[in-house]
Structure 1
Amino acid sequence: MQTDIDPRSLIGRKAFDRNGAKIGTVDEVYLDDATGEPEWAAVRTGLFSRDAFVPLEPSELAVEGLRVPYDRKLIKDAPDFGVGRHLSPEQELQLYHHYRLDISAPVSDSRSPSPSPSPGEDLGRVAGSPD
């Protein structure tokens, strides 16, 4: 994802799965405590539903909203940690495993690379919402 995007601009945007199906609306954005980079988004999956955490890398921000390169079912089956507080290192590791993300792979694209969090790093809460 583009690192020059203000994470607060993601809140309230629609999120879509890899097939273009709407999965919900971005409710909160979680920042890596060490780097300050947006790392995860909590997507409200329905009016009376829960928030599903989705990785912002390798997701893309498009005109229509956030495009998450995973199937809707995988996203909805993500571990439920609730929102409004830090993700613990254990919770983050569970998300990495759920999405089969390589936590040791460096970022390699045309943008300036930002360090990937280690499984022991605590992820900060929420860009743009009051504590």
Structure 2
Amino acid sequence: MQTDIDPRQLIGLKAFDRDGQKIGTVDEVYLDDATGIPEWAAVRTGFFGRDAFVPLEPSEVVDGVLRVPFERSRVKGAPDFGVGRHLSPEQELQLYRHYGLDVPVAGAPASDDGMTFGRIAGSPEG
């Protein structure tokens, strides 16, 4: 993903899967606490849906939307951790496994605490 984009600019973007089907709207962005790099987006799936975490790498912003290179069903089937708090290292690993992605080593913590993720909440208007 573009590393020069302000993560707050992702809030409110529509997210589409690899086939061009709408997944939902980005509610929150989660940053790696060690590096400050945006790592995950919480995408609201449907009007009464839940938030599903999607990896921002290898996703990309194209023409004002977030393009996620996975099928909509895979995104909707992601583990549900809720939003509004840090992702634990165990939750992060579950998400990487769910999407079949390698766990990045850049920015990995030196301690046994693992990588935690802070969040940038969406606007109050939702």
Tell me the TM-score normalized by structure 2: 0.89
CA contact (8 A) 1:30 1:124 kept: yes
Q: Deviations over 1:35-67 (max 9, x none)?
A: 000000000001111000000000010114000
CA contact (8 A) 2:27 2:44 kept: yes
Are the structure 2 counterparts of residues 93 and 61 from structure 1 closer, same or farther at C-alpha, using a change threshold of 3 Å? Answer: same
- Structure 1 segment 21-40 matched on structure 2, within 5 A: 21-40=21-40
Q: Which residue of 2 aligns with 1:122?
A: 116
User: Equivalents in 2 of 1:128, 1:64: separation in Å?
Assistant: 17
Where do 5+ consecutive residues of structure 2 fail to align?
none
Alignment of 1:58 with 2:58, yes or no, is yes
Map 1:39-78 → 2, pairs under 5 A = 39-78=39-78
Contact 2:84 2:121 in 1 (8 A): no
Q: Is the 8 A contact 1:7 1:128 kept in 2?
A: no
8 Å contact kept, 1:31–1:127: no
AA aligned to 1:125 is R
Secondary structure of the residue that 1:23 maps to in structure 2? strand
3-state SS in 1 of match to 2:101: coil
Supply the RMSD in Å over aligned alpha carbons: 1.8
Distance in structure 2 (CA, Å) of the matches to 1:86 and 1:103: 18
Q: State how far apart, in whole Å, the 2-side matches of 1:93 and 1:117 are.
A: 12
| Number of residue equivalences | 121
Runs of 4+ in structure 1 over 6 Å off = none
Q: In 1, distance between residues paired with 2:75 and 2:13?
A: 16
Percent of matched pairs sharing the same residue: 74
Once residues 75 and 88 of structure 1 are traced to their aligned partners in structure 2, the CA distance between those partners, rounded to angstroms, is: 19
For residues 94 and 17 of structure 1, what CA distance do their matches in structure 2 show? 20
CA contact (8 A) 2:12 2:122 kept: no
Question: Could you list the runs of 5+ residues in structure 1 that have no partner in the other structure?
Answer: 107-114
Q: Distance in 2 between matches of 1:125 and 1:44?
A: 15
Q: Distance in 2 between matches of 1:50 and 1:40?
A: 15
Whether the 8 Å CA contact 2:27–2:122 is kept in 1: the answer is no
Matched residue SS, 2:73: helix
Letter of the 1:120 partner, please give it.
Answer: G
Equivalent in the alignment of 1:2: 2
Q: Answer yes or no: is the 8 Å Cα contact 2:87–2:116 preserved in 1.
A: yes
